[in-house]
Amino acid sequence: MNEAIRGALSAFLRRLLLRSVLSIEERSAVLGLPGNSMQLRSHYDVAFPGRKSEFVCLVAEGLLARSDLGANGARQITSLYIPGDMCDLIASVLPDVSWTVATVSSSTVVEVPRAALLAIAAEYPAIAQALWRDTAVDAAGLGKWIGLLGRRDARERVAHLFCEMGRRMEQIGAGSRWSFQLPMTQEKLGEVVGLTAVHVNRILRAFRETEIMTFKAGRVKVTNGRLLDEIAEFSSEYLMIPNYNL
Amino acid sequence: MNEAIRGALSAFLRRLLLRSVLSIEERSAVLGLPGNSMQLRSHYDVAFPGRKSEFVCLVAEGLLARSDLGANGARQITSLYIPGDMCDLIASVLPDVSWTVATVSSSTVVEVPRAALLAIAAEYPAIAQALWRDTAVDAAGLGKWIGLLGRRDARERVAHLFCEMGRRMEQIGAGSRWSFQLPMTQEKLGEVVGLTAVHVNRILRAFRETEIMTFKAGRVKVTNGRLLDEIAEFSSEYLMIPNYNL
DNA sequence: CGGGCATTTGAAGCTGATCAAAATCAGTGG
DNA sequence: CCACTGATTTTGATCAGCTTCAAATGCCCG
């Protein structure tokens, strides 16, 4: 059992434990999941339409994105995955996906067989519930994002993205919400918030000039977090961290 | 056991069976869920932020919507629920929601205790998986919708909405994709597709004038479905009807 | 040092929002 | 049955935000 695999699985377990209670036995079942780790260059497609995947992949390091490809070629990113995220957990119950999951920066991921995940879910009801809940949190996040794209303007969307990623990074111990690594281009940022790279650039300039935050070479530095949160209408319940056991 | 309740539960079971296999015993466990049916006027809030609900509600008849309320008061609808849908199944594992579920037209719903749902999920792994999968389908649909809002223009969004609802209505036997009831105002349509009612109205006029479809008094009539699908870039895999058992 | 990608800036155009008002419709009570 | 009320639909006019197109600059890496 490789070190990277153990680390990734325990990060995943930590994530599950944020919202669910699992016994010692159940925890070790999660930690005992099989998997093999892989080093991937950036822009590598992990899953794509037509590929019926036998694996779900867990992020050990780096940044991945799930995106939806329009017929015209325009991409829309629907989720960003950071270390500890079971990327596209959805795919474990819906194996033939209609979207793409790809690395954004060079990353290391752990492939976990779908079958193994379903097996421990079948054996331990509490794990099944935890995975179901994790999928629900994913869905709730997507719902929030729909609200963002449907009703909010460019400033608000961009601000929200940085607020959200800051908290998530902080939560997994990768920097603080005031300063963290987000290894993506402005083009990619645009794909997340539904804007062109040009417009994202102008928004970033405005944030820089008003000393709210800067984004340079994949590093975010927030100078006025209070204002950033305000622009984003960001509330901390957003990420639904509390523990939801009945 | 009321007639309406049996009917709603069997519609829900049919929905689950579209994508999952359940044994006779498991099926009857689903059909045996407790619940009590309620008649609701339109614009009645079934769930809202701050209300920790002990029930999940199953649509027996009518139309419900889950929506996200912005601080400015703007609403964004994130899902529409039609008969047979377990409205906000997400809430069964995430009880304190940050969104609202409300009737759009007068409806009858069946309240099912969260605890009962979790209990049969704990007892029957296959049911747990089916519910998990249903949540995943929900999430996948939300992902698609993000793509729609992020990248597509007004025409495409509106067309897509009618394509999707047509198929869903057809699937549950409520009219055909060419002609079905969709009891909502243009204002509400706008809340789904992220546009103002005024603009929705203009798009509808264009569709009417080019003889693609009409929307009048809550009834949709599609005259040129081929073209409507084309505008929407609608593909039938969209609703993920196939059966996804390992 | 040079090539390719990412960022930055400018100018022009279009889509959809906003504001305002008229027309239509549904439901209510006289 | 009709007049009244409030909601919804429809249309027009104007405006702002974002896109598009184009070009210049900066930057990393071979």
Q: Are A26 and A2 in contact (CB under 8 A)?
A: no
Residue of A nearest to B93 (CA): A133
Any strand D atom closer than 7 Å to B202 CB? yes
Sheet with strand A36-40: strands edge to edge = A36-40, A107-113, A55-61, A86-87
Residue B17: Cβ within 10 Å count: 14
Give the Cα separation of A12 and A19 in Å (integer).
12
Give the Cα separation of A127 and A122 in Å (integer).
8
Dihedral angle, C-alpha A16, A20, A21, A25, nearest 10 °: -40
Instruction: Name the token pair of A211.
Output: 């000393």
Give CA separation, A6 vs A1, A16, A117, in Å. Answer: 7, 15, 16
Give the Cα separation of A210 and A224 in Å (integer).
9
**Residue whose token pair is 């603009």:** B199
A 203-242: CB under 8 A from B: 233, 237-238, 240
Q: Are B137 and B100 in contact (CB under 8 A)?
A: no
How many CB pairs (< 8 A) connect A and B?
163
Query: What pTM was estimated for this model as a whole?
Result: 0.92
What's the rounded mean pLDDT across residues A46-59?
A: 89
Instruction: Name the token pair of B223.
Output: 């005259």
Q: Are A118 and A92 in contact (CB under 8 A)?
A: yes
Write down the pLDDT at residue B95. Answer: 81
Give the Cα separation of B131 and B134 in Å (integer).
5
Which nucleotide lies nearest residue A187, CA to C1'?
C6
Confidence label for B245 from pLDDT (cuts 50, 70 and 90): very low
Write down the pLDDT at residue A72. Answer: 76
Quick one: angle between helices A197-209 and A186-193, nearest 10? Answer: 100
Give the Cα separation of B11 and B228 in Å (integer).
29
Contacts of A205 (CB under 8 A, 6+ apart): none
Structure-model confidence comparison of residues A235 and A42, the more confident one: A42
Write down the pLDDT at residue A103. Answer: 95
What's the rounded mean pLDDT across residues B74-89?
A: 93
Write down the pLDDT at residue B239. Answer: 57
* A196 interfacial to chain B (CB closer than 8 Å): no
Question: A100-146 pLDDT, tens per residue?
Answer: 999 999 999 999 999 999 999 999 999 999 999 999 999 999 999 99
pLDDT at B87 > cutoff 70: yes
B 22-41: CB under 8 A from A: none
Q: Are A77 and A67 in contact (CB under 8 A)?
A: yes
Q: Over chain B, what is the mean pLDDT?
A: 91
Question: B169-226 pLDDT, tens per residue?
Answer: 999 999 999 999 999 999 999 999 999 999 999 999 999 999 999 999 899 999 999 9
Nucleotides of C under 7 A from a protein CB: 5-11, 15-20, 25-26
**A125 with B125: Cβ contact below 8 A:** yes
Instruction: Name the token pair of A50.
Output: 């037509």
Write down the pLDDT at residue A244. Answer: 45
Question: A148-182 pLDDT, tens per residue?
Answer: 999 999 999 999 999 999 999 999 999 999 999 99
Write down the pLDDT at residue B1. Answer: 55
Give the Cα separation of B80 and A118 in Å (integer).
29
Write down the pLDDT at residue B246. Answer: 37
Look at residue A50 and give its three-state secondary structure: coil
Which nucleotide lies nearest residue B150, CA to C1'?
D18
B 129-188: CB under 8 A from A: 129, 131-133, 135-140, 142-147, 149-152
